[in-house]
Amino acid sequence: MRCRDSLLFAMCVILLGSGCGKEVPHIAQITPDSKVLAFGDSLTRGTGASKKQSYPSVLAGLIGCSVINCGVPGELTSDGLRRLPSILAKHRPDLVILCHGGNDLIHSHDASEVAENLAAMIELVQGRGADVILLGVPKPGLRLKTASFYEDVAEEYNVLCDSRVVTEVLSSSSSRSDHAHPNARGYKRMAAAVAKLIESASTQ
């Protein structure tokens, strides 16, 4: 019986060890001198609330450094991909929070195309030596559910991903200004979730 237990234990160790080859996502420590760039569409700009109530503005107060709001309402990921290089060159961020794809999903664009655009944006950011946090966005529907490709892309590029907060916010009538945008309370929830992710990932 002891031999069997020892064999089972050894097999478990091997199986667990085989899943440890992939590096756990982490980011550099955020300091008051860090530059954080929030890149995306209307969810980043803060449509549905005042500029000071947008999630980048709230996040800046939570993490104690500058958070640059580069959100363009109505933008598609293809347009964001073309815009991003000049933004990176101008601001040279240490961390980019990428929240994009909602307009593509609203217009029923092919999911693989959206995923490819997000992946290309992450490659651009990583090529500049900056860290990335990806925020997942829900597909339109009666019951909102985050598009699955966000987690797939995050895993492929080993970046941090929150695939829940935007969907949870837009699923709550008290946290949204309309069916597609948060209100001040919703943006506050988004900022808190990102701040928590930053704190946990930068202290590993």
Q: What is the pLDDT of residues 52-91, one digit of tens each?
A: 999 999 999 999 999 999 999 999 999 999 999 999 999 9
Tell me the pLDDT band of 6, cut-offs 50, 70 and 90.
Answer: very low
Residue-wise pLDDT tens digits, 157-166: 999 999 999 9
Quote the CA–CA distance of 106 and 118 in Å, as a whole number.
16
Closest CA to 116 of 101, 127, 135, 131: 101
- Domain spanning 32-201 has what CATH number? 3.40.50.1110
Eight-class DSSP state of 50: -
Q: Which helix (H) or strand (E) holds 168?
A: helix 165-170
Model-level pTM?
0.87
3-class secondary-structure state, position 153: helix
Indicate whether 20 pLDDT > 90. no
Tell me the pLDDT band of 203, cut-offs 50, 70 and 90.
Answer: low
Quote the CA–CA distance of 125 and 139 in Å, as a whole number.
25
3-class secondary-structure state, position 90: helix
Indicate whether 116 pLDDT > 50. yes
Tell me the pLDDT band of 202, cut-offs 50, 70 and 90.
Answer: confident
3-class secondary-structure state, position 65: coil
Q: Are strands 145-146 and 138-139 parallel, antiparallel or unpaired?
A: antiparallel
67-76, 90-99, 195-204, range with the lowest pLDDT? 195-204
> What is the pLDDT, as a whole number, of residue 186?
98
pLDDT, the chain, mean: 90
Tell me the pLDDT band of 25, cut-offs 50, 70 and 90.
Answer: confident
Quote the CA–CA distance of 99 and 184 in Å, as a whole number.
17
3-class secondary-structure state, position 32: coil
Indicate whether 155 pLDDT > 70. yes
> What is the pLDDT, as a whole number, of residue 142?
85
